[in-house]
């Protein structure tokens, strides 16, 4: 069973249990709900998790585990102060030797830490106070029991950050000494008791000691593993970037972050959000040496990084489509006219969805005269206007509009088109680069499992001349008009046009629906344009 269908089942199960708790709700339903809250947390299904945790709280308001998980939902969805209001009384009422006490105080530290990192000005009084509170929250459980190494390692990281900022917090603590205690506690853990967090924690504690060789060695021990999990890499990456600010320390730190970023995107379930400025920095930064990439990611490290750099370069040709004097309404990307059989062959055009830009602004779309196009990573200060729509196909067919711009695009490379759809074998990944709704300044690199398509050899297109592609629905909607890339070569295989949480009918005559995104094969768009213009692409 794919991860996608497992996720669908989990969501369905959570919905069913939620409805039961809204009714009479038995003890058994309550127990199921408590288990599901944790499973939803592990799957990062936060909205669903929060709704169920709220329902559990109404039935069993004193369950400390559920309260703590509820607080985690609040933190993950940007409500850190509400989480603090929940966690403080929880920590106060729990006995110090209760298993949930250390968890609740640690999470309290996490909430304050989030407030600090979300602050634009890290030196403001509010953010300094949050940093101070976070340090205090992590300190107590670690000093009570050094086996609480995740508290300890966060304490090390925050102390180091406070010292760099010149803040006088916990002056009696020296980050290196705390780091040493964490390393000692970790190394004393019997091998069969070491969980999946052991190596990431050891790597971070080694950073506190300034032992770069140990940092790279410990990261490699899990990051280079073929079966490593995306959330482990994501966690290390977040700590190293946000807490340690490693990219601004030195080249070695920057190299580690770059390597982790590349590895994260490579893994199933991995994904990255970068602001245009971050994307610019990633492009501009000197690449890590092959030696460092091998030290952090193993022998495949240089290749993994090169692959990621190619993806970054592709992002440069991805544009946001904006309504004049309004906000961003979709995504588009740069293509070469000759790839669609159009002249002049080397003219650069923009492809997006019909429902984003169409002649009369039908549906939620806008007319070409009202559209502005900005390549936010490639030419952020240059605004392009649309001269006219060269070719268009409505949403029930290709949902595509090919735009000619008023001024020529220079200095940017068009996206290469794949000559075939990926073969459906094993687990096939595709990648989407776009600007999802709700995060107006973010480029999102999403990894998605390819579910099905109507292309050769087994596809049975239902709409003549249209070949649809289905891939796993991301946790977030949006990205209309984004390019969908094949996994290895970063060539465009489809134009993304819609998503469905659970209601997307399956393709090729298969019964039922699933949670899927839908794109239109670039080959079918190319062929439709070539047919309409009576010539073959060159």
Partner 1 sequence: MPHVTFIHGISNKPPADDLLRIWRNALANATEPLPLGDLGVTSSMVYWADLLYEKPEEDSSAYEGVLENTAEAIDGAGDAPLPVPRTPQEAAFLKGLRARLTTLSDKDLATTEPPPVPAEPQGALERVPLPWFIKKRFLNAHLRDVHHYLFDVEFALPGKPPVRIQRTIRQRFVEALGAINVSSPHIVVSHSMGTVIAYDCLKRVGDCPPVDGLITIGSPLGLDEIQDQLQPGWTRDDGFPHEKVRGDWANLFDRLDPVCGFDPKLANDYRKSGVAAIEDLAVQNDGTWRHSATKYLRQASFCATLRRMLGV
Give the length of the chain.
538
CB of 146 to partner 1, least distance (A): 35
Using the contact rule CB under 8 A, the part of the chain among 49-57, 175-183, 272-280, 422-430 near partner 1 is 422-430
Residues in contact with partner 1, counted by CB under 8 A, come to a total of: 21
303 binds partner 1 (CB under 8 A): yes
In the set 1, 284, 299, 325, which binds partner 1 (CB under 8 A)?
Answer: 299
Query: Helix or strand or coil: residue 182?
Result: helix
Sign of the C-alpha dihedral, residues 401, 364, 388, 332? negative
Using the contact rule CB under 8 A, the part of the chain among 67-75, 176-184, 483-491, 505-513 near partner 1 is 483-491
Using the contact rule CB under 8 A, the part of the chain among 30-38, 68-76, 354-362, 480-488 near partner 1 is 480-488
Supply φ then ψ for residue 317, to 5 degrees: -90, 5
Strand partners, 445: 272, 433
CB of 514 to partner 1, least distance (A): 21
Site for partner 1 in 212-251 (CB under 8 A): 226
Please compute, for residue 317, the number of CA atoms within 13 A of its CA located in the half-sphere on the CB side.
28
Using the contact rule CB under 8 A, the part of the chain among 150-158, 266-274, 336-344, 486-494 near partner 1 is 486-494
In the set 191, 213, 396, 426, which binds partner 1 (CB under 8 A)?
Answer: 426
Nearer CB in complex with partner 1: 457/534: 457
| C-beta neighbour count of 41 within 10 angstroms | 18
Query: Helix or strand or coil: residue 490?
Result: coil
508 binds partner 1 (CB under 8 A): no
CB of 125 to partner 1, least distance (A): 52
Structure tokens at 429: 């990944």
Using the contact rule CB under 8 A, the part of the chain among 170-178, 263-271, 364-372, 482-490 near partner 1 is 482-490
In the set 311, 380, 422, 461, which binds partner 1 (CB under 8 A)?
Answer: 422
Nearest in space to 113 (alpha carbons), one of 68, 159, 166, 146: 159
CB of 358 to partner 1, least distance (A): 31
Cα→Cα distances 110→119, 144, 284, 368, Å: 14, 18, 32, 47
Sign of the C-alpha dihedral, residues 220, 222, 225, 228? negative
114 binds partner 1 (CB under 8 A): no
- In contact, 53 and 71? CB cutoff 8 Å: no
CB of 487 to partner 1, least distance (A): 6
> Alpha carbon 94 to chain centroid distance?
35
Q: Which residue has the tokens 């508290």?
A: 151
In the set 178, 487, 495, 529, which binds partner 1 (CB under 8 A)?
Answer: 487
Using the contact rule CB under 8 A, the part of the chain among 73-81, 129-137, 488-496, 498-506 near partner 1 is 488-496
Q: 440-459 mask for partner 1 (x: CB under 8 A)?
A: ---------------xxx--
Site for partner 1 in 362-421 (CB under 8 A): 418-421
- In contact, 442 and 430? CB cutoff 8 Å: no
The Cα 518–Cα 495 span in angstroms is: 9
- In contact, 14 and 48? CB cutoff 8 Å: yes
Nearer CB in complex with partner 1: 419/501: 419
* Helix (H) / strand (E) containing 455: none
In the set 392, 486, 517, 524, which binds partner 1 (CB under 8 A)?
Answer: 486
489 binds partner 1 (CB under 8 A): yes
| C-beta neighbour count of 290 within 10 angstroms | 13
- In contact, 25 and 59? CB cutoff 8 Å: yes
The Cα 112–Cα 83 span in angstroms is: 10
The Cα 517–Cα 449 span in angstroms is: 10
CB of 454 to partner 1, least distance (A): 14
CB of 420 to partner 1, least distance (A): 2
CB of 74 to partner 1, least distance (A): 41
User: What residues make contact with partner 1 under the rule CB under 8 A?
Assistant: 226, 299-300, 303, 418-423, 425-426, 428, 455-457, 486-489, 491
């Amino acid at each position: 069973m794919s991860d996608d269908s497992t996720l669908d089942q989990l969501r369905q199960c959570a919905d069913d249990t939620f409805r039961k708790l809204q009714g009479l709700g038995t003890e058994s339903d309550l127990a199921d709900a408590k288990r599901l809250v944790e499973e939803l947390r592990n799957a990062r299904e936060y909205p669903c998790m929060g709704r169920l945790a709220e329902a559990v709280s109404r039935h069993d308001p004193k369950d400390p585990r559920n309260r703590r998980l509820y607080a985690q939902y609040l933190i993950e969805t940007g409500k850190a102060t509400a989480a603090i209001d929940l966690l403080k009384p929880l920590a106060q009422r729990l006995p110090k030797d209760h298993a949930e006490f250390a968890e609740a105080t640690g999470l309290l530290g996490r909430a304050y830490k989030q407030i600090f990192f979300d602050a634009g000005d890290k030196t403001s009084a509010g953010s300094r106070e949050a940093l101070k509170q976070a340090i205090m929250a992590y300190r107590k459980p670690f000093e009570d029991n050094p086996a609480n190494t995740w508290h300890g390692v966060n304490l090390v990281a925050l102390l180091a950050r406070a010292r760099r900022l010149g803040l006088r917090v916990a002056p009696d603590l020296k980050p290196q000494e705390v780091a040493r205690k964490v390393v000692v506690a970790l190394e004393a853990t019997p091998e069969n008791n070491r969980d999946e967090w052991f190596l990431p924690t050891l790597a971070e504690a080694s950073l506190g000691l300034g032992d770069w060789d140990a940092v790279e060695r410990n990261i490699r021990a899990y990051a280079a593993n073929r079966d490593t999990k995306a959330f482990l890499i994501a966690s290390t990456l977040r700590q190293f970037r946000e807490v340690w600010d490693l990219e601004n320390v030195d080249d070695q730190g920057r190299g580690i972050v770059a390597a982790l970023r590349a590895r994260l995107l490579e893994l199933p379930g991995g994904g990255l959000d970068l602001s245009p400025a971050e994307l610019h920095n990633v492009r501009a930064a000197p690449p890590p040496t092959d030696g460092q990439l091998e030290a952090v990611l193993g022998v495949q490290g240089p290749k993994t990084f090169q692959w990621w750099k190619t993806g970054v370069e592709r992002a440069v040709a991805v544009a946001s489509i904006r309504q004049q004097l309004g906000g961003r309404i979709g995504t588009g990307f740069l293509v070469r006219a000759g790839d669609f059989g159009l002249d002049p062959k080397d003219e650069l055009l923009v492809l997006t969805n019909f429902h984003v830009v169409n002649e009369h602004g039908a549906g939620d779309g806008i007319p070409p005269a009202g559209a502005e196009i900005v390549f936010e990573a490639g030419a952020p200060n240059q605004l392009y206007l649309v001269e006219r729509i060269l070719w268009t196909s409505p949403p029930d067919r290709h949902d595509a509009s090919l735009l000619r711009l008023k001024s020529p695009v220079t200095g940017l490379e068009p996206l290469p088109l794949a000559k075939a759809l990926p073969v459906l074998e094993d687990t096939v990944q595709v990648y989407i680069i776009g600007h999802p709704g709700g995060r107006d300044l973010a480029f999102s690199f999403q990894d998605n499992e390819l579910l099905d398509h109507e292309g050769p050899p087994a596809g049975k297109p239902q709409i003549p001349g249209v070949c649809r592609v289905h891939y796993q629905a991301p946790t977030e909607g949006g990205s209309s008009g984004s390019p969908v890339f094949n996994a290895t070569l970063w060539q465009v295989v489809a134009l993304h046009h819609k998503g469905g949480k659970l209601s997307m009918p399956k393709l090729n005559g298969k019964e039922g629906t699933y949670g899927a995104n839908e794109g239109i094969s670039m080959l079918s768009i190319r062929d439709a344009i070539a047919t309409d213009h009576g010539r073959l692409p060159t």
